[in-house]
Amino acid sequence: MTGPVLWALLGHWRRNPLQLFTVLAGLALATALWSGVQAINAEARASYRLAADMLGAADRAQITTRAGGRVSVADYVALRRGGWRVTPVIEGRYDDIRILGIDPLTAPFGGSGLSEFTRADFGAFLTAPGLILGQAEVLERLRGKSLAGFETRPSMAPNTALMDIAVAQKLLEFDAGLTRLMVDPQQPLVQVPLGQIAPHLQLTTPQVGADVARLTGSFHLNLTAFGLLAFAVGIFVVHGAIGLAFEQRRGMIRTLRALGVPLRQLVVVQTLELLCLALVAGTVGMCGGYLMAAALLPDVAATLRGLYGADVSGSLHLRPAWWLSGFAIALLGTGLAAAAGLWQVLRMPLLAAAQSRAWALASRWAARWQAGAALALLALAAILAGFGTGLMAGFALLAALLVGAALALPLLLDQTLAVLGGRAKTATAGWFWADTRQQVPGLSLALMALLLAMAANIGVSTMVSSFRQTFVGFLDQRLAAELYVSAQNPGQAADLQRFLEARVDAVLPVQSVSRQLMGMPVAIYGNRPHATYRDNWQFLQAVPDVWQKIAEGKALIVNEQFFRRAGLQLGQELAIGPDHKRTNSLQIAGVYGDYGNPVGQVVIAERLFKQLYPEVVGQRFGLRLDPSQVSKLRLDLIERFDLPQRNVIDQAQIKALSLAVFERTFTVTAALNVLTLAVAGFAILMSLLTLAGLRLPQLAPVWALGMTRASLAKFEVLRAVILAAFTSLMALGLGLLLAWVLLAVINVEAFGWRLPMDVFPAQYARLGALALLAALLAALWPAWRLVRRSPADLLQVFSNER
Amino acid sequence: MLVSLRDVHKSYSEAAGRTDILCGVDMNLAAGETLALTGESGSGKSTLLHLIGGLDSADSGQVIIDGQALMALDDAALAGLRRTTVGVIFQQFNLIPSLNVADNIAFQARLSGRQDTARIADLVGRMGLEPHLHKYPEALSGGQQQRVAIARVLATAPKLVLADEPTGNLDEASAAVVLDLLLELVGETDAALLMVTHSTQLAARMGRRLHLQAGRLA
Amino acid sequence: MNVKTVFILLWVCLIMPPIARAQGFADLGTSAQGFAVPQPDYKLRFPSDHGAHPAFRIEWWYLTANLTGPDQTEYGLQWTLFRTVLSQTSLLQAEDSGWNNGQLWMGHAAVTSPTAHFTAERLARGGIGQAGVTAVPFEAWIDDWVLEGTGSKTPLGAATLRASGIEFAYDMQLQARGPWVLHGQEGYSVKSADGRASHYYSQPFFDISGTLRLPQGVVPVTGQAWLDREWSSSPLAVSQTGWDWFSLSFAGGDKLMAFQVRDQAGRAFTSATWITANGRTTSFGNGALTVTPMHLTSVAGRKVPTQWRLQLEDKGLDIRIDALNPSAWMDVSLPYWEGPVRFTGTHTGRGYLEMTGYE
């Protein structure tokens, strides 16, 4: 029995291919956007995991110098001879590739990096000229740069090359020292305490939360938010189309039952039908998502590398979990979109189905229910905004706000149009507003989709643009010096200072020490008092004359992360210094933004810093000088001190690089923006086309009363544009709210810093124009069809009317 | 007895209050018999037909079709009854818009698993539907649509044919043709026919006539 | 785990003679692929030969000891430092300082009781000071494992010995009670019929005392230790698959070093040195010694002979040797069996047994 019933039901789609297309395309788009974003995130996360797991570093304790320099080989040997099972690591960047030099003889055998390694020819790895392992693309970039042999390891962390420590040392021009020592979790019975062997070294247990994944979290959050919103937009489209199909098939359902098809059978077959649709659309969507992700991934990878130094594979891998989640989301979407329709079929009495109603939210009861739900959700959002804490509350706020606003939209439009209709002076105007108002229920789902798409656009682009603006400001603040130079050892640092003093306006040492303050890792910086800081640093909160107070050694400033996490107050005293004694308590005089940094920061005066931490020797310096002298001095320094190129960096260069990277981030968000908007435009087109057919009976009398088809068509277009314009206005408000939630709630909960929100009216205007254009284009086709309609069609309305 | 109704009551609750439609109807219909059910608008003709077709259920009393008490049947069993024993012809034709004429005619036979191609071909020929087999219902005139609906019902050879104003939406000429065909075909299969109509002219052509007034048979 | 297989390959490479295979005797005395080769007329010089010989491919400082605890429980102890050069290329860097150094060092330590066997392994490269050997003052070390001379007259007349693993550690004092003993012909010890050899000498007269740290606690022990020094570049022939090596101390004070090198055909090349209590030696060439496996124990998935009959007719010796703990398997990069033994028969006493090549 299933066969003929399914055939009859599917016949509906055969007879209404446009509707079928809407359902499939909407579902496929929703699936594609969602799964595409998921694919990008999954790829990036997999890359982080690989990178972190390289050498099993993710869960290993490490030994580094307290002062922040390199660990000497002598210290390493002293530790080994003191019974410590530690293994040396040299890590650096060569041509932006992460170079990992290891000692296979002492490396503890865990972590993906080493399992890669052990397959390699041990002898070749250890014996000159050595062996370099990495992904093919990485090895290609290293070709000719080292005498070592190459072996491809496709499953190794991206952008990473693994080699013997001797090979790495040569490649990175490390003349001495090690980046860090990794501590084997198993240590022998007899061991000399670390402090006794090398008091200047420190053991750090594996850091939770300071990894790349956390650092890049905000970026992925953006993508995820985008994917989710795009999905919601797509589901609104599908819901509209499926809802219409169910409505149009009510008569058929009744006939089928009258002909002896049991109700349960009907529901089963319809579920089956939806399953087929979901699978077809899901497959198409997954392919689309894959293509989208593959197209965007190189940009994403470049962004992440540039912004956070995170290595992400530029090519996409197909993961079974991803396929499953993609189909699951397609099924979920279909289920969400069709649940109401199926429920109605199930509850519909056999005979009552005969009368046809306007589809979707026509009844007063439904409207009242919807108003109640919208109000409840918006109230919930307000409560969450006021009292919610935690990331989950932030997401709940986001969801409540969006769904509440979407539900409220038709009611707000209805009220607005009622007011406008009441003020109409002419009969035509009165009819126009009343008729427009009548259209709202039919268009409401498409308009909701438009609202969400635009709000998502405004919200996310505001966030990204705000982030960009903040980031640029932050770069200016932090990269105020014209040239940055790093000495290779403390002796050279002193020589450098002497050499530079007479040649530049100011030498600003960058010196820091890592401490535990208030139970969290904090870097304490000693800044040399200078106008540079006063002129460039911006504070989120500060007392007057903050730099003066710091210079006097009476005050300190902290970054926002530390300020928020430790729950500090401006003016509060904070004990710093090695012994945490009261004598070293300083007043918190200011809080500054420090974007993308996972650890806390404290800045004090250089003089005080030297008193508290005499053992720390700053080896990095920011140099203030006439910008025209920069390149000359840079060459001088490289030549005179035999410094590697990367030790002397021109500020303009870093800024340009960072900004270029940021622009690439924009490519990604812009592409997603266009896609979501396209989905919404599509929804409007489909709704208008559908309505055009249903509207004939409404238009025919007006035509009969003497309005031309051309003017009717004009009104149809005008109506679509006006509805889109109202929706755009509301989307603007909602989008700004969304941006605020993302910046001030989600970001703070997730990362500990709040981004200042900037508004970008030109962007919004452009988006609004785009939305109106989309509505205009969408309305043109049905309008054109109306103009071309023969009078006989219109007349038929009267003869055929029930 | 093919159809047997005993003291059947039916009323509807509406906002305005309770409306009694049927107030104790007793009725019998034997196999092969043709019966016209007449009455004014709102007299409960269609409701009675729906009760006999298992499309609606009585508040009290017994409706027994082919030995089965309908009160005791669930939705699936009622649907089975409609597939095999009872065929309903509606005033609105109720063809399936997504299927062409050929598929519409064969539809119910396929549902009941009684697809008899020879019988269907015969029906199509006698109904004069050959030229229209691949058209969709919307392209047919009212008379043609009703002929398709009749063929659909008779293709399953039901024991009981229920017709609710089958010519109500047709012009006089088409109505006569459709009715002739219906009576001829029902006669051939020895099926019983219960036809709701308000036309005394039509009623006169049936073997027996019952008049429904204020919820009771007269 | 994978490293182990790599290491097995590596050591097989070492055992496989690089070129002498084709050239045989004719080539002895010339360098093998750049590596030095033991010379029969080489005169051992002390203390300098206690130090490393980087021109040779493989070398070891191998100390074993039979110990007794306060409750008369017997223990065995092993401390070994291996030095090797991975390849000819590495040989060019054998003397380099820094990470480039081509010397590879490997330490093995073990403690054996009748019921337990603990092992540990360390690897290091030369050139950075993590492992090495100096002759004067004598020190052989890898990480915190060390054999360090403390004697005032001779660099190795007295020494301290330390090693630690995850489950065990030891800290011992050594005192030599007799002279150094040269094996074979003045320390030139032949290993195969085609004349492969090593330089080989021992100090079998160490008194040893100190403490063992075991999971059950600290155990003070005393006993006798035996230090072997050996270096070569291609000690074994291709066909030779492994060896069984015995160091035995008789109750009367005499000692015996005996080994057989087995080949694929099941033939053995034997050699032995009888050492009297005052250090005089008699060397026995191939054929004088007969060793016969008597009982196999299944350990780590292999069948290993843990009971032997050893006969040296010239000395009227016929003894049965039993492992103190048959499960004394060294689960290290290149696994082998090594543990304390007891023997009875014409003579009684204690000693050590090493068996390789049981795969």
Find the mean pLDDT for residues A288-315.
Answer: 70
Mean pLDDT comparison of A445-449, A477-481, C18-22, C299-303, highest-scoring range: C299-303
Interface check for B50 against chain A (CB to CB < 8 A): the answer is yes
pLDDT-based confidence at residue C32 (cuts at 50, 70, 90): low
Query: Does A699 lie in the same domain as A661?
Result: yes
User: Burial of C208 by CB count in 10 Å (0-12 exposed, 13-18 middle, 19+ buried)?
Assistant: buried
Mean pLDDT of A416-442: 83
Rounded Cα distance, A403 and A595, in Å: 31
Partner residue opposite C86 with nearest CB, options A123, A165, A191: A123
Q: What's the confidence (pLDDT) of residue B146?
A: 86
Count of pairs with CB atoms under 8 A, one residue in A, one in C: 93
Q: Rounded distance, CA A657 to CA B176, Å?
A: 88
3-state secondary structure of A514: strand
> Can you say how many angstroms the Cα of residue A372 is from the centroid of all Cα atoms in its chain?
33
Report if residue A210 sits inside a domain: no
- For testing contact with chain C, the best of A75, A81, A125, A178 (most C CBs within 10 A): A81
The reply to whether residue B83 touches residue A4, judged by beta carbons under 8 angstroms, is no
C98 touches chain A (CB under 8 A): yes
d(CA A493, CA A484): 13
| Sheet containing A201-204: order of strands | A149-152, A131-134, A160-164, A97-102, A86-94, A180-183, A61-65, A201-204
Q: Which residues pair with C320 in a beta bridge?
A: C309, C344
Most confident of A64-78, A144-158, A392-406, C323-337: C323-337
Task: Give the domain extent around A310.
Answer: 1-54+232-356
Q: Which amino acid is at B18?
A: R
- Tell whether A605 and A750 lie within a shared domain: no
Q: How confident is the model at residue C254 (pLDDT cuts 50, 70, 90)?
A: very high
Q: What is the mean pLDDT of residues A249-257?
A: 83
C90 vs B103, more confident: B103
Alpha helices, H only, A613-650: 630-640
Q: Is the bond into A129 cis (omega within 30 degrees of 0)?
A: yes
Structure confidence at residue A456 (pLDDT) = 77
Total number of domains constituting chain A: 4
Radius of gyration of the CA atoms of chain A, in A: 33
Burial (CB count <10 Å: 0-12, 13-18, 19+), residue A136:
exposed
Residues 6+ apart with CB under 8 A from A627: A482, A652
For chain A, the average pLDDT equals 78
Q: Where are the alpha helices (DSSP H) in B113-214?
A: 117-127, 142-154, 172-189, 200-204
Q: Are C127 and C100 in contact (CB under 8 A)?
A: yes
pLDDT of residue A659: 66
| Domain boundaries of chain B, sorted by first residue | 3-217
Query: Which residues from B are below 8 Å from A252, CB to CB?
Result: 96-98
Which DSSP symbol is given to A109? Answer: S
| Contact partners, residue A673, CB within 8 Å, separation at least 6 | A457, A460, A461
Note the CATH number of domain B3-217. 3.40.50.300
3-state SS assignment for residue A505: coil
Confidence of residue C249 (pLDDT cuts 50, 70, 90): very high
Fill in the DSSP letter of residue B2: -
CA-closest candidate to residue A210, choices A647, A763, A674, A599: A599
Place of tokens 């969450």: A384
* pLDDT score of A452: 80
| C and B interact (at least 3 Cβ pairs within 8 A) | no
For residue C112, which phi and psi values (nearest 5 degrees)?
Answer: -125, 135
Residue reference for tokens 């994403």: A300
Q: How many residues are there in chain B?
A: 218
Q: Is the pLDDT of residue A130 over 80?
A: yes
Cβ of residue A267 closer than 8 Å to a chain B Cβ = no
> Is residue A123 in some structural domain?
yes
**What is the DSSP secondary structure assignment for residue A745, as one 8-state letter?**
I
Mean pLDDT for the stretch of residues A405-418: 88
Q: Which two tokens stand for residue B41?
A: 């608008």
- A44-48, A403-407, A561-565, A640-644, range with the lowest pLDDT: A44-48
Mean pLDDT, residues A493-510 taken together: 86
pTM greater than 0.80: no
pLDDT at A23 over 50: yes
Residue A668 and residue A647 share a domain = no
pLDDT at A213: 53
The residue with tokens 């496929």 is A28
pLDDT at A219: 61
**Vertex A696: Cα angle to A692 and A697 (nearest 5):** 140
Quick check: is A333 in a domain? yes
Residue ranges in A359-426 assigned as alpha helix (H): 364-387, 391-422
Contacts of A370 by beta carbon, 8 Å cutoff, 6+ apart: A361, A407, A410, A411
Tell me which of C31 and C221 has the higher pLDDT.
Answer: C221
A241-255, C234-248, C295-309, range with the lowest pLDDT: A241-255
Question: What tokens appear for A490 in the block?
Answer: 């403390």
For residue C71, what is the DSSP state?
A: T
Tokens at residue A64, please? 């580094």
Specify whether the CB–CB gap between C261 and C268 falls below 8 A: yes
Q: Are residues A462 and A507 in the same domain?
A: no
Average pLDDT, chain B: 85
Minimum mean pLDDT among A634-643, A696-705, B122-131, C78-87: which range? A696-705
pLDDT score of B80:
87
Of A54-63, B30-39, B49-58, C26-35, the least confident = C26-35
In a domain, A221, yes or no: no
What are the DSSP calls for C155-190, one per residue?
TTSEEEEEEE-SS-EEEEEEEE-S--EE-TBTTEEE
For residue C227, pLDDT beyond 90: yes
The C-alpha atoms of residue A152 and residue A192 are separated, in whole angstroms, by 41
User: For residue A222, what pLDDT is reported?
Assistant: 61
Kindly state the tokens that stand for C289.
């010694």
- Out of A160, A189, A205, a domain closes at A205
Structural domain ending residue among the three candidates A615, A640, A655 = A655
Contact C98 A109 (CB under 8 A): no
Specify the 3-state DSSP secondary structure of A112: helix
Residues A172 and A195 in one domain: yes
Strand order from edge to edge, sheet including B68-69 = B17-29, B3-14, B60-65, B68-69
Torsional class of A390: left (φ above 0), alpha (ψ -120 to 50), beta (otherwise): left
B contact chains, 3+ CB pairs < 8 A: A
C-alpha–C-alpha distance, residues B44 and B137, integer Å: 30
Per the CB < 8 A criterion, the answer to whether C258 and C246 are in contact is: yes
Query: Would you state the pLDDT for residue C44?
Result: 93
Going by pLDDT thresholds of 50, 70 and 90, the confidence category of residue A209 is very low
Residues A449, A543, single domain; the answer is no
- Helix, strand, or coil here: B178? helix
Is A643 found in the same domain as A671? no
The percent of residues above 90 in pLDDT, for chain A, comes to: 5
Convert A72-85 to b/e letters by CB count within 10 Å (16 or more is b): bbebbbbbbbbbbb
Q: Is the ipTM beyond the 0.85 threshold?
A: yes
Query: Among candidates A684, A747, A671, which has minimal Cα distance to A36?
Result: A671
CA–CA separation, A28 and A185 (whole Å): 49
* pLDDT above 50 for C28: no
Q: Are residues A797 and A665 in the same domain?
A: yes
Is A497 within a domain? yes
**Confidence band (pLDDT; 50, 70, 90) for A118?**
low
| pLDDT value, residue A666 | 56
Give the range with max mean pLDDT: A151-160, A301-310, A440-449, C27-36. Answer: A151-160
Q: What is the pLDDT of residue A309?
A: 58
pLDDT for the residue A295 = 80
- Residue A226 located in a structural domain: no
Taking one residue from A and the other from B, the number of pairs with CB-CB distance under 8 angstroms is 79
The residue in chain A having the minimum alpha-carbon distance to the alpha carbon of residue C130 is: A77
* Partners of A542 in beta bridges: A590
pLDDT at A658: 62
Query: Quick check: C323 and C353 in contact, CB under 8 A?
Result: yes
Indicate if the pLDDT at residue C355 is higher than 90. yes
Q: Which residue has the tokens 């996360």?
A: A45
Interface test with A, best of B98, B107, B140, B156 (most A CBs within 10 A): B98
Please check whether residue B184 is in contact with residue B216, taking contact to mean a CB–CB distance below 8 angstroms. no
Q: Are strands A520-527 and A600-605 parallel, antiparallel or unpaired?
A: parallel
- The whole-angstrom separation of Cα A668 and Cα A297 is 9
Hey, which residues 103-132 in chain C have their CB within 8 Å of chain A?
104, 120, 123-125, 128-130
- Judging contact as 3 or more Cβ pairs under 8 Å, the answer for A and B is yes
In eight-state DSSP terms, residue C56 is: S
Which amino acid belongs to residue A100?
L
DSSP letters for B85-130: TEEEE-TT----TTS-HHHHHHHHHHHHT---HHHHHHHHHHHT-G
* A58 in contact with B, Cβ within 8 Å: no
Q: What pLDDT is stored for residue C8 in this prediction?
A: 40
Per DSSP bridges, beta strands A483-486 and B192-196 are unpaired
What are the backbone angles phi and psi of residue C103, rounded to the nearest 5°? -85, 140
Determine the length of chain A. Answer: 802
Q: Class assignment of domain C2-355?
A: mainly beta
Exposure b/e, A34-54, CB count within 10 A at least 16 = b? bbbbbbbbbbbebbbbbbbbb
Helix or strand or coil: residue A151? strand
**Considering A637, A655, A673, which residue would you say is the last residue of a domain?**
A655
B55 touches A at CB < 8 Å: yes
Q: Which residues of A touch C91 (CB under 8 A)?
A: none
**A115 neighbourhood in chain C, CB within 8 Å:** 2
Residue C69 scores a pLDDT above 90? yes
Backbone dihedral angles phi then psi of residue A706, each to the nearest 5 degrees: 115, 15
With CB atoms and an 8 Å threshold, state whether B97 touches A262.
no
B113 chain-A contacts, CB cut-off 8 A: 1
Band of residue A800 on the pLDDT scale cut at 50, 70, 90: very low
Q: Which of A262-276, C62-76, C229-243, C287-301 has the lowest mean pLDDT?
A: C229-243
Residue reference for tokens 């337990």:
C116
- The shortest CB-CB distance from A259 to any of B98, B107, B113 is to B107
Same domain, residue pair A469 and A500? no
Q: Would the pLDDT of C22 be above 60? A: no
Q: Does A271 touch chain B (CB under 8 A)?
A: no
**A44 has a pLDDT exceeding 80:** no
Residue A199: per-residue pLDDT: 85
Closest Cβ opposite residue B79 in set A10, A251, A257: A257
Which of C10, C93, C141 lies closest to A122 in CB terms? Answer: C10
Nearest CA to A164 among A115, A123, A135, A136? A123
Residue C237 pLDDT class (50, 70, 90 cuts): confident
Q: Are A126 and C103 in contact (CB under 8 A)?
A: no
Over the stretch A331-381, which tens digit does the pLDDT of each residue have?
888 887 788 778 877 777 666 543 433 333 345 666 778 888 889 999 998
Q: What is the pLDDT of residues A661-706, one digit of tens each?
A: 556 555 666 766 776 677 667 766 776 776 666 666 677 777 777 7
Least confident of A442-446, A545-549, A692-696: A692-696
Contact at 8 Å (CB) between B81 and B160? no
% of chain B with per-residue pLDDT over 70: 99
Residue A223 lies in a domain: no
- Kindly determine whether residue C7 and residue A122, on different chains, have CB atoms separated by under 8 Å: yes
What whole-number distance in Å separates Cα of residue B99 and Cα of residue B111? 14
